[in-house]
């Protein structure tokens, strides 16, 4: 057994069973070991950003980390943007980064670079085994560290959806090819860090009191149990309930108590929180603007609103705390929610921002996993259009690093092969990690991508106005426009091996979406959206 096999077997002992890989020479021993250990599923990704995004999507759905297999510093660099999103999602991810043999590093050969420095920008935990005997324990520690943000390693996704971290294990090639020590056994994640017990009494008094209160919930609180507790509180006390704009994972749809996301724009949040005297954070951070704008505040809590940190953003069980609070102010179960029909789309209309989501919402299959990188096209339309759809989970763009959608969809589909995945993908962002479509085809994943083609970096057009730049002239507009030439996503998907069609009307989208969902394997529908 060589070191790479020690590593692989230790991953398996620690319930890491999928490896999203873009290997190079320094990782060939690990690749070779896959043949001897079919329990580890190696998934080829044709760009490292696909591998890291897929690992994020996989772990958001299972609560367990996948491994990535990355080649040296440039390979890790290509995966950093989606690791940034994973870090913001609190997803457990274990990166295995191959390095040159130690005798070789001093030679400064062409691919040599600062792996540790790149890893430090996204990782909570970084280690390099230094002897064969280290490989097993360090690998087990990497997995435990990825799961150590206060959540048990029991695979209960409702508890663990968004409470991990990125670990990076850097393995020199000579350790991989050298004689390995025995693999390490399962190492439990570290127990939750000790945090003060939530002040349920004080919070219950606030919530039940006379002043307007809002809850801002994130993390595991956005699963069905947390939402039901929040709904009980809301119903009994009139407390408003919000979640972040694009949480890592949130449950939605018919029978699930609705939760209102804070708007992407500061002005929207100001309206939502107007008059709120107490903002109670439940596994969430205080809301801040994505970007600063001249003369506007970055913190979105209105002046005069007091912020209460009821449950810290990691370290205590959000669901338990919410339930305890609900039991205090609203004992008894939640009354059944009224059954409402999903919004019905109007047929035979040209597709535009205002109507595409109605089609998706009406046809969304039960237990769909919705990967939402719709950005401008979905930020005002998706939540109302899917509020009464069949129950589903939504995975959001946590770190705002674009190019997450296609890979996260692949990872989620591998995590949950029995569930349909619907990827709502903006056009400009899709190009960052387009080859994730090929991985969807290779693995025959049931992913239906609705590619929202508005032929622009639409969000940047809005931003250009907001930062107070002069009116955009032709040179500025040229940098925000995805036309000249128009990108043909139907051709791009076909080139990647994913069957694709183009829709320009609500009827076409409905027909193609239904057909795609009914046909095994990945599909892409290019929805051509009319300018507003």
| Residue 101 makes contact with its own copies by CB under 8 A | yes
| Best CA proximity match to 165, nearest among 334, 357, 313 | 313
Tell me the closest approach of the beta carbon of residue 467 to its own copies, in angstroms.
5
Give the end-to-end CA distance of the chain in Å, rounded to a whole number: 62
Tell me the closest approach of the beta carbon of residue 401 to its own copies, in angstroms.
4
Closest to its own copies by CB, 61 or 451: 451
The residues in 59-98 that bind its own copies, with binding defined as CB under 8 A, are 73-75, 77-78, 80-81, 84, 88
| Residue 118 makes contact with its own copies by CB under 8 A | yes
Q: How far apart are CA 11 and CA 143, in angstroms?
A: 8
Stretch that binds its own copies, among 301-309, 365-373, 396-404, 412-420 (CB under 8 A): 396-404
| Residue 291 makes contact with its own copies by CB under 8 A | yes
Q: How far apart are CA 61 and CA 14, in angstroms?
A: 18
Q: Give me the 160-199 binding string for its own copies, x by CB under 8 A, dash otherwise.
A: -------------xx--x----------------------
Tell me the closest approach of the beta carbon of residue 345 to its own copies, in angstroms.
28
Closest to its own copies by CB, 362 or 493: 493
Inter-axis angle of helices 200-208 and 224-237, nearest 10: 50
The residues in 404-433 that bind its own copies, with binding defined as CB under 8 A, are 428, 431-432
Closest to its own copies by CB, 31 or 200: 31
Inter-axis angle of helices 72-89 and 48-62, nearest 10: 30
| Best CA proximity match to 52, nearest among 433, 442, 443, 446 | 433
Stretch that binds its own copies, among 58-66, 124-132, 358-366, 462-470 (CB under 8 A): 462-470
Among 268, 334, 476, 517, binds its own copies (CB under 8 A): 476
Stretch that binds its own copies, among 10-18, 304-312, 326-334, 437-445 (CB under 8 A): 437-445
Sheet with 125-127: strands ordered across: 41-44, 18-21, 67-71, 93-99, 166-172, 125-127
The radius of gyration computed from the CA coordinates of the chain, to the nearest angstrom, equals 23
Closest to its own copies by CB, 38 or 338: 38
| Residue 242 makes contact with its own copies by CB under 8 A | no
Tell me the closest approach of the beta carbon of residue 172 to its own copies, in angstroms.
9
| Residue 482 makes contact with its own copies by CB under 8 A | yes
| Residue 268 makes contact with its own copies by CB under 8 A | no
Tell me the closest approach of the beta carbon of residue 186 to its own copies, in angstroms.
23
Per rule CB under 8 A, count of chain residues that contact its own copies: 99
Phi-psi region of 484 (alpha: psi -120 to 50; beta: other; left: phi over 0): left
| Residue 307 makes contact with its own copies by CB under 8 A | no
Collapsing DSSP to helix, strand or coil, 343 comes out as: coil
CA distances from 378 to 186, 246, 262, 391, 415 (A): 42, 11, 14, 18, 25
DSSP annotation of 432: G
The residues in 488-507 that bind its own copies, with binding defined as CB under 8 A, are 488-492, 494-497
| Residue 463 makes contact with its own copies by CB under 8 A | yes
Looking at the chain, the number of H-run helices and the number of E-run strands are: 22, 18
Closest to its own copies by CB, 36 or 186: 36
The residues in 322-341 that bind its own copies, with binding defined as CB under 8 A, are none
Residues 6+ apart with CB under 8 A from 443: 43, 410, 413, 414
| CB neighbour burial string for 256-280, b if at least 16 within 10 angstroms, e if fewer | bbebebbbbbbebbeebbeebebbb
Among 3, 42, 183, 420, binds its own copies (CB under 8 A): 42
DSSP annotation of 149: T
Tell me the closest approach of the beta carbon of residue 143 to its own copies, in angstroms.
21
| Residue 103 makes contact with its own copies by CB under 8 A | yes
| Best CA proximity match to 61, nearest among 383, 382, 394, 283 | 394
Q: How far apart are CA 97 and CA 71, in angstroms?
A: 6
């Amino acid at each position: 057994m060589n070191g790479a096999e020690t590593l692989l077997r230790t991953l398996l002992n620690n319930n890491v069973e999928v490896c999203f890989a873009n290997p190079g020479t320094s990782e060939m021993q690990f690749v070779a070991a896959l043949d001897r250990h079919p329990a580890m599923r190696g998934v080829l990704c044709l760009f490292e950003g696909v591998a890291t995004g897929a690992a994020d999507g996989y772990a958001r759905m299972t609560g367990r980390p996948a491994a990535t297999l990355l080649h040296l510093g440039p390979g890790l660099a290509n995966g950093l943007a989606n690791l940034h999103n994973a870090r913001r999602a609190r997803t457990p991810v274990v990166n295995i980064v191959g390095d040159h043999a130690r005798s070789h590093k001093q030679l400064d050969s062409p691919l040599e670079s600062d792996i540790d420095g790149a890893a430090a920008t996204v990782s909570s935990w970084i280690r390099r085994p230094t002897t064969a005997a280290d490989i097993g324990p360090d690998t087990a520690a990497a997995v435990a560290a990825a799961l150590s943000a206060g959540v048990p390693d029991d695979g209960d996704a409702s508890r663990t959806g968004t409470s991990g971290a990125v670990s990076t294990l850097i393995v020199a090639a000579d350790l991989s090819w050298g004689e390995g020590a025995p693999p390490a056994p399962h190492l439990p994640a570290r127990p939750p860090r000790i945090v003060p017990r939530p002040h349920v009494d004080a919070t219950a008094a606030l919530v039940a009191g006379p002043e307007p209160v809002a809850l801002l919930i994130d993390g595991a609180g956005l699963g069905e149990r947390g939402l039901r507790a929040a709904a009980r509180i809301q119903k009994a006390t009139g407390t408003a309930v919000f979640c972040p704009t694009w949480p890592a994972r949130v449950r939605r749809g018919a029978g699930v108590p609705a939760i209102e996301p804070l708007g992407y724009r500061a002005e929207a949040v100001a309206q939502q929180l107007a008059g709120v005297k107490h903002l109670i954070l439940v596994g969430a951070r205080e809301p801040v603007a994505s970007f600063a704008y001249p003369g506007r505040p970055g913190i979105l809590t209105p002046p005069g609103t007091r912020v209460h940190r009821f449950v810290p953003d990691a370290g205590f069980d959000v669901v338990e705390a919410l339930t305890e609070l609900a039991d205090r102010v609203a004992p008894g179960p939640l009354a059944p929610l009224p059954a409402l029909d999903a919004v019905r789309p109007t047929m035979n209309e040209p597709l535009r921002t205002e109507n595409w989501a109605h089609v998706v919402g009406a046809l969304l299959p039960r237990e769909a996993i919705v990967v939402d990188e719709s950005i401008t096209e979905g930020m005002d339309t998706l939540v109302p259009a899917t509020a009464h759809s069949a129950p589903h989970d939504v995975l959001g763009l946590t770190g705002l690093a674009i190019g997450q959608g296609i890979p996260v969809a692949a990872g989620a589909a591998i995590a949950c092969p029995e569930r349909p995945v619907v990827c709502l993908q903006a056009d400009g962002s899709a190009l960052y990690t387009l080859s994730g479509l090929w991985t969807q085809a290779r693995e025959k994943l049931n992913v239906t991508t609705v590619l929202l083609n508005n032929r622009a970096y639409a969000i940047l057009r809005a931003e250009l106005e907001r930062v107070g730049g002069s009116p955009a002239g032709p040179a500025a507009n040229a940098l925000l426009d995805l036309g000249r030439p128009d990108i043909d996503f139907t051709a791009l998907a076909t080139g990647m091996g994913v069957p694709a069609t183009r829709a320009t009307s609500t009827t076409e989208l409905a027909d193609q979406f239904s057909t795609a969902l009914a046909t095994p394997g990945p599909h892409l529908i290019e929805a051509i959206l009319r300018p507003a």
